[in-house]
C-alpha cells in the first residue's frame, strides 16, 4: 500500500527550472534542503516509488508577470500520463488572462487533471478579486480542487523590493472569500505558517470545503496547532524541490505521532479528496 501522498511538489524538470522560477533562483538557491538539479519525469517518479509514495505535481503559470513560458497544465498532464500510478496533477492558469483563463480551466479538466494550483503572490492577484470568480465557477463545475499558496513566500526574498512581489496577496483571508462564495468548491490552503497562521486555521475551522496543506510542517509543529479544525482536512506536503522530501517525511516518522493520525495526514485525507466521486 502507498505510505504517503505528497500533496505539494514542484517537479524539477527543465520546463519549470528555466521557465517561471528562473527569475527567482538567486533568492532561493541557498536555502537549506533546496534541490534544483534537473531531473526527468522517469527519475522523479522513481524517487517516489523508492519511498512507496505518490505525489501531486503543481503547475506554475506566471507568464503575465514574468514573461516566462509557464509550467502548464499540458506539461503536468504529460508527466501524469507517463506515470499515472505515481502522479496526480494540478494544472495552472494565470488569472490575468481573463476569458482565456476560464478557457484554460475547461482545458485542464479535459486533460483529466485533479485541480488547479494558484500562486497569488507570484501571479500578482488577490484571490478575492471578482475578476477571478469566473475561474472558480468553472473549476467548481468540473469538480477541480483549487490550491492556493498563502503566507510568506521565498520568491524574491532578500532582493530589492522583493522583485515587486506583494506578500499581501498571500493573505488567506482572500481565500476565505472564495470559500464562502463557492461552497461546493474544494479549496486547499498551502504553506500554513510564518504569516497568517491563525487566520488559516480559523478559515479551515469555519469552512468545511477548506483543507490545510502542511507544507514542510513536522508532526510536532502540527500537534501544537491541532484544535478546532477537523483532523480529516489536513494534508501532508514537502514542497520538494524547494525543500527536502526526506526531511519532511522524517518529521512524520512513526516515533513522532500515533499511527492513526499519521495515516490520515500522510495518505488517507489526500486520497479521499483526490479520488472523491465528482459526478
Q: How far apart are CA 130 and CA 42, in angstroms?
A: 40
Second CATH level (architecture) for the domain 4-274: Alpha-Beta Barrel (3.20)
Give me the percent of the chain exceeding a pLDDT of 90: 77
**What's the pTM value of the predicted model, to 2 decimals?**
0.95
Beta bridge partners of 230: none
Residue 278 is predicted with a pLDDT of 46
Rounding to the nearest 10 degrees, give the CA dihedral for residues 250, 234, 52, 118. Answer: -100
Q: How far apart are CA 62 and CA 121, in angstroms?
A: 10
| Average pLDDT value for the chain | 92
Residue 216 is predicted with a pLDDT of 78
3-class SS at 10? coil
Is the distance from CB of 59 to CB of 76 less than 8 angstroms?
yes
pLDDT tens digits along 190-233: 998 678 999 999 999 999 999 999 997 888 888 776 666 789 99
Q: How far apart are CA 52 and CA 49, in angstroms?
A: 5
Domain ranges of the chain: 4-274
Length of the chain, in residues: 279
Is the distance from CB of 124 to CB of 96 less than 8 angstroms?
yes
The rounded Cα 134 to chain-centroid distance in angstroms is 21
Nearest to 216 by CA among 2, 60, 10, 1: 10
Amino acid at each position: 500500500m502507498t505510505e504517503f501522498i505528497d500533496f505539494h511538489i514542484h517537479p524539477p524538470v527543465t520546463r519549470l527550472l528555466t521557465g517561471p522560477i528562473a527569475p527567482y533562483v538567486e533568492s532561493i538557491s541557498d536555502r537549506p534542503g533546496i534541490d534544483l538539479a534537473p531531473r526527468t519525469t522517469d527519475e522523479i517518479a522513481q524517487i517516489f516509488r523508492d519511498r512507496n509514495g505518490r505525489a501531486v505535481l503543481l503547475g506554475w503559470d506566471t507568464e503575465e508577470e514574468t514573461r516566462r513560458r509557464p509550467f502548464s497544465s499540458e506539461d503536468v498532464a504529460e508527466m501524469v500520463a507517463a506515470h499515472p500510478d505515481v502522479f496526480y496533477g494540478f494544472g495552472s492558469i494565470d488569472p490575468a488572462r481573463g476569458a482565456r483563463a476560464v478557457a484554460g480551466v475547461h482545458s485542464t479538466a479535459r486533460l483529466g487533471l485533479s485541480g488547479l494550483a494558484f500562486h497569488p503572490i507570484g501571479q500578482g492577484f488577490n484571490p478575492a478579486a471578482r475578476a477571478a470568480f469566473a475561474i472558480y465557477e468553472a473549476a467548481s463545475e468540473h469538480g477541480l480542487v483549487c490550491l492556493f499558496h498563502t503566507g510568506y513566500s521565498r520568491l524574491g526574498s532578500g532582493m530589492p523590493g522583493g522583485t515587486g512581489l506583494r506578500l499581501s496577496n498571500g493573505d488567506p483571508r482572500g481565500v476565505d472569500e472564495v470559500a464562502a462564495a463557492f461552497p461546493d468548491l474544494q479549496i486547499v490552503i498551502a504553506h500554513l505558517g510564518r504569516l497568517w497562521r491563525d487566520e488559516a486555521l480559523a478559515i479551515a475551522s469555519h469552512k468545511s470545503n477548506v483543507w490545510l496543506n502542511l507544507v514542510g510542517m513536522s508532526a510536532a509543529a502540527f500537534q501544537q496547532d491541532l484544535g478546532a479544525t477537523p483532523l480529516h482536512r489536513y494534508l501532508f506536503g514537502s514542497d520538494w524541490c524547494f525543500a527536502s522530501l526526506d526531511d519532511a517525511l522524517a518529521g512524520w516518522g512513526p516515533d513522532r505521532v500515533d499511527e492513526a493520525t499519521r495515516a490520515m495526514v500522510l495518505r488517507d485525507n489526500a486520497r479521499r479528496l483526490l479520488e472523491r466521486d465528482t459526478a
